[in-house]
Amino acid sequence: GGLIIFFLGVVSGAGLITARVFYNVPLSNKIWPLVAVFLVLMGIQLFVFGLLADIAVKNYYKSQGKMNYKIREIIKN
């Protein structure tokens, strides 16, 4: 989820920069630059939160001596 939101923010920001530089569209009284920055920041935040959650889950299972997966069947050749 975080990477998608980050990507949307980057794409919308690039579109806004393109509109400003090449088409001279005024952006000073628009909300869209703030939305683009918000999307980028939220994307980064959600991505980092996901990484931290993954680390926490792995540490929990490791400290309990459990595995967070089960092997259903071992196939021998």
- pLDDT at position 66 is 84
Q: What does the alpha-carbon distance between residue 67 and residue 12 come to, in Å, rounded to a whole number? A: 42
Q: What does the alpha-carbon distance between residue 41 and residue 55 come to, in Å, rounded to a whole number? A: 21
Give the predicted TM-score (pTM) of the model.
Answer: 0.80
Q: Quickly state the pLDDT bin for 63 (edges 50, 70, 90).
A: very high
Q: What does the alpha-carbon distance between residue 24 and residue 27 come to, in Å, rounded to a whole number? A: 9
Q: For residue 69, how far is the Cα from the chain centroid?
A: 25
